[in-house]
């Protein structure tokens, strides 16, 4: 097979798509390259449909190969295992824009696999996966209404940028993935730092221009080497049976399918469905197998008709109405923070747990440097939340995706480590589900963080929007419930603060979304988001000023990096001893930051004092209380800090001449001294006489048994007070434990 390459110019970069070199037995295969990032995308279609399935069996897999980044897996087997969270999210991003373009009723198995072969850290392989998967399907014999193009949008230096370098995404105010056809947008996924709706719309418009170029290139490749598409005709139902079903349901469907209570509505709808199948099955025994499908089709048509034509939703709400909201905080006695958010029949309980910096999650991915997460959000969807009985399993792709969305929504408001040196884990337990549980978990997470005393920059709320189109008309729905998601055309989730958007996720079932509908949905979402925020803040208007008694208090001190070895000790002996004797957890960073975490305040303070004693350095001009450790004919050596001593010359022991040092002090005595200089050879010189004169001049006691901390605090120019402290509060009422101004030497 001849090798064919198509080059597409996207935002000044070359996107190369090659076919004919690899994976020739797949229905379609391409190698996509941008810079030195390379992805192999393939599609395979089964020859016959599986028997008895009533869904479209599409599977999209994103395979991270660590050799692509020149890394060996860290697992014991030294090979890739289950997909990482990043790979699962990339698989979902690939799946979502492809799925709506397959024919209705299609039942052949389709598997799309994108294998990352090389990564250059600048060009995103996730975007290459979407474009490669689309091209593989376009040139194959798989029936499909593509192509699809995808780009990542950033906001750098105040300007919207197409496919910015991955190395600059950390500084970008917007991280927006957009996929769509040449005509309309199909999928949106975004995290942001409070950008405006207008900025998002501007980014979408720019993205569409780039997407059009990508789609045009794929179509050129299809015309050149594409295979003929396999013929497929959607199922056609007999006209007579369809008419009879419509007549049967005409006077029955509204009373069964419309009502405020989900359980009652579902029960009456199921009963009507069973009754219709039983009665009409006797009249049309040859078509009994399609009666259920016709019922579902008629139900969908009727619900959509009433929404668009009458503005009536199944539970009786108006198009912009948000369901009743209740908010509770502090609902669990021993957790560090908790929030219970209920909206209609959707309920999310989120629990916040605070940990030390050593509790960060290490990510084993395709980046060259080790990555760590100090803020994590996990989402659980147990079967009882929808009234089902099924085995409990680990989190699936949906749970991981919803957790990542909620995490992204709050990431922009999490305080930096310099202000809040904690690791934070949020877990959302969905207790009841009837639409938009991911946005309920966003609200619950905001409440849990504030209940835990985390000084978030601003509270975040989320809302899910829907869309119904019919005969050229459309209706945008606020706060969709589950059935409106199933029967509608769009699930559009928007999270943000009062000032702007922090996360977006959109999936649609129709062939695309216009700019006008998108703008309307964003505006309705903004209004609803502010409404939800008001409900939340009426219960807890700001983060608590006091942490839970069961949460660790973390103090940050800054030491000379050369002193790190003194804390660690030989083979870690010293840090283990401190931990064992105080119960504190100690994390030491290479830059000299030391984090001391402890639930017990006394143990934490003991660890702080211990570390300060090991790392403090003598400061010239400061008075110390020291211990005489050695006496020579010319003076006494006094230890003022652990392992740090200096000489008090005999002439500096007192204000009058003495013949022998022992006339003033002996080994083991504690005396006050002042650090007067460090000479050119690094030797510390002390003066007892200068210390006594300074204390006397300030009217302070000179008893040499006085506590040195009390003495130093009484001096005219004490060190600047630290911000926060062990379990303390700063002037703004937020929790202490933030980074201080450096180690105290008093």
171 shares its domain with 246 = no
Say if 318 falls within a structural domain: no
Contact call for residues 185 and 505 (beta carbons, < 8 A): no
Sequence-distant (≥ 6) Cβ neighbours of residue 262 within 8 angstroms? 315, 345, 434, 481, 482, 483
Ranges of residues in the chain with a pLDDT under 70 are: 1, 368-369, 512, 701-746
Buried b / exposed e along 498-532 (16+ C-beta atoms within 10 A):
eebbbbbbbbbbeebbeeebbebbbebbbebbebb
User: At which of 182, 202, 225 does a domain end?
Assistant: 225
- Quick one: DSSP state of residue 413? T
285 shares its domain with 329 = no
218 shares its domain with 360 = no
Say if 723 falls within a structural domain: no
304 shares its domain with 334 = no
Surface-to-core class of residue 121, CB atoms within 10 Å of its CB (0-12 exposed, 13-18 middle, 19+ buried): middle
304 shares its domain with 341 = no
Indicate which CATH number applies to the domain containing 287. Answer: 1.10.10
Predicted pLDDT at 288: 84
Say if 110 falls within a structural domain: yes
170 shares its domain with 298 = no
The DSSP string of 422-467 is -EEEEEEEEEE-SS-HHHHHHHHHHHHHHHTT---SS--EEEEEEE
- Quick one: DSSP state of residue 650? G
Predicted pLDDT at 613: 81
Cα dihedral 215, 158, 414, 456 sign: negative
Predicted pLDDT at 724: 33
Tokens 């008419």 found at = 243
- Does this model's pTM top 0.85? My answer is no
Say if 576 falls within a structural domain: no
Say if 722 falls within a structural domain: no
349 shares its domain with 465 = yes
31 shares its domain with 107 = yes
Distance CA 655, CA 661 (A): 13
β-partners of residue 645 are: 639
User: Among 123, 119, 34, 110, which Cα is nearest to 69's?
Assistant: 119
Indicate which CATH number applies to the domain containing 452. Answer: 3.30.230.70
Q: How many structural domains compose the chain? A: 4
Predicted pLDDT at 368: 66
User: At which of 539, 571, 598 does a domain end?
Assistant: 539
Indicate which CATH number applies to the domain containing 630. Answer: 2.40.50.140
Structural element, H or E, at residue 639: strand 635-641
What are the start-end ranges of the E strands in 243-336? Answer: 325-329
User: At which of 539, 570, 603 does a domain end?
Assistant: 539
Contact call for residues 338 and 427 (beta carbons, < 8 A): no
What is the domain range of residue 644? 623-713
Say if 746 falls within a structural domain: no
194 shares its domain with 128 = yes
Predicted pLDDT at 472: 86
Distance CA 737, CA 409 (A): 25
CA 467 to chain centre: 27
405 shares its domain with 524 = yes
Predicted pLDDT at 512: 67
Contact call for residues 505 and 189 (beta carbons, < 8 A): yes
CA angle 7–12–18, rounded 5-degree value: 20
Say if 581 falls within a structural domain: no
Say if 32 falls within a structural domain: yes
Predicted pLDDT at 698: 81
Contact call for residues 623 and 595 (beta carbons, < 8 A): no
Structure tokens at 175: 């991280």
73 shares its domain with 138 = yes
Structure tokens at 61: 């897999």
- Quick one: DSSP state of residue 513? B
Predicted pLDDT at 504: 96
Predicted pLDDT at 529: 97
User: Among 118, 149, 117, 151, which Cα is nearest to 133's?
Assistant: 149
244 shares its domain with 273 = yes
Structure tokens at 249: 């349901």
């Amino acid at each position: 097979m001849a090798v064919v390459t198509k080059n597409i110019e996207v935002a000044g970069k070359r996107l190369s798509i090659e076919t004919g070199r690899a994976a020739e037995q797949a229905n379609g295969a391409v190698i996509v390259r941008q810079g030195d990032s390379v992805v192999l995308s393939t599609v395979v279609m089964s020859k016959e449909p599986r028997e008895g399935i009533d869904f479209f069996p599409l599977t999209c897999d994103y395979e991270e190969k660590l050799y692509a980044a020149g890394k060996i897996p860290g697992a014991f087997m030294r090979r890739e295992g289950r997909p990482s969270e990043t790979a699962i999210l990339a698989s979902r991003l690939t799946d979502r824009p492809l799925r709506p373009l397959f024919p209705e009723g299609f039942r052949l198995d389709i598997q799309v696999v994108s294998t990352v072969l090389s990564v250059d850290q600048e060009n995103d392989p996730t975007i290459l996966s979407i474009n490669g998967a689309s091209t593989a399907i376009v040139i194959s014999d798989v029936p499909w209404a593509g192509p699809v193009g995808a780009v990542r949008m950033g906001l750098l230096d105040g300007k919207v940028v197409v496919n910015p370098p991955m190395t600059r995404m950390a500084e970008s105010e917007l991280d927006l993935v957009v996929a769509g056809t040449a005509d309309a947008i199909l999928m949106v996924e975004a995290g942001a730092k409070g950008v405006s709706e207008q900025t998002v719309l501007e980014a979408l418009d720019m993205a569409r221009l780039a997407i059009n170029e990508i789609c045009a290139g794929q179509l050129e490749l299809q015309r050149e080497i594409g295979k003929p598409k396999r013929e497929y005709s959607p199922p056609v139902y007999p006209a007579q049976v369809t008419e009879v079903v419509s007549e049967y349901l005409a006077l029955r469907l509204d009373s069964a399918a419309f009502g405020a209570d989900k359980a009652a509505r579902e029960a009456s709808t199921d009963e009507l469905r069973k009754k219709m199948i039983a009665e009409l099955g006797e009249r049309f025994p040859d078509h009994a197998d399609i009666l259920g499908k016709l019922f579902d089709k008629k139900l969908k048509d009727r619900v959509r008709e009433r929404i668009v034509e009458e503005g009536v939703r199944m539970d009786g709400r108006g198009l912009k109405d948000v369901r009743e909201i209740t908010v509770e905080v502090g609902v669990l006695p021993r957790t560090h923070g908790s929030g219970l958010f209920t909206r209609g029949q959707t309920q999310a309980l989120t629990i916040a747990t605070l940990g030390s910096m050593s509790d960060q999650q290490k990510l084993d991915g395709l980046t060259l440097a080790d990555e760590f997460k100090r803020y994590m959000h996990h989402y659980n969807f147990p079967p009882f939340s929808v009234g089902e009985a099924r085995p409990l399993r680990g989190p699936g792709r949906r749970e991981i995706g919803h957790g990542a969305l909620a995490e992204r929504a709050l990431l922009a408001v999490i305080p930096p480590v310099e202000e809040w040196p904690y690791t934070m884990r949020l877990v959302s337990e969905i207790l009841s589900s009837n639409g938009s549980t991911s946005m309920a978990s966003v609200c619950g997470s905001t409440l849990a963080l504030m209940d835990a005393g985390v000084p978030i920059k601003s509270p975040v709320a989320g809302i899910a929007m829907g869309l119904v189109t019919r005969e050229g008309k459309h209706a945008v729905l606020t706060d969709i419930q589950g059935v409106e998601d199933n029967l509608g055309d769009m699930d559009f989730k928007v999270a943000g603060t009062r000032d702007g958007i922090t996360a977006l996720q959109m999936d649609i079932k129709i062939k695309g979304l216009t700019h006008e509908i998108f703008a309307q949905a964003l505006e309705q979402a903004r209004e609803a988001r502010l409404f939800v925020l008001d409900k939340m803040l009426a219960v807890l208007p700001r983060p608590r000023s006091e942490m839970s008694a069961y949460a660790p208090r973390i103090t940050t001190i800054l030491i000379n990096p050369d002193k790190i070895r003194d804390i660690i000790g030989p083979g870690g002996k010293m840090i283990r001893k401190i931990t064992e004797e105080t119960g504190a957890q100690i994390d030491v960073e290479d830059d000299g930051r030391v984090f001391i975490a402890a639930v017990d305040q006394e143990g934490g303070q003991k660890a702080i004092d211990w570390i300060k004693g090991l790392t403090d350095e003598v400061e010239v001009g400061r008075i110390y209380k020291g211990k005489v450790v050695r006496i020579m004919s010319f003076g006494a050596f006094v230890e003022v800090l652990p392992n740090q001593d200096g000489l008090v010359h005999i002439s500096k022991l007192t204000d009058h001449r003495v013949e022998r040092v022992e006339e003033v002090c002996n080994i083991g005595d504690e005396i006050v001294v002042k650090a007067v200089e460090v000479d050119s050879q690094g030797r510390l010189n002390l003066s007892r006489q200068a210390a006594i004169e300074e204390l006397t001049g300030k009217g302070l006691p000179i008893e040499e048994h006085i506590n040195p901390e009390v003495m130093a605090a009484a001096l005219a120019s004490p060190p600047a007070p630290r911000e926060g402290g062990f379990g303390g509060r700063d002037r703004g009422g937020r929790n202490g434990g933030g980074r201080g101004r450096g180690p105290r030497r008093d």
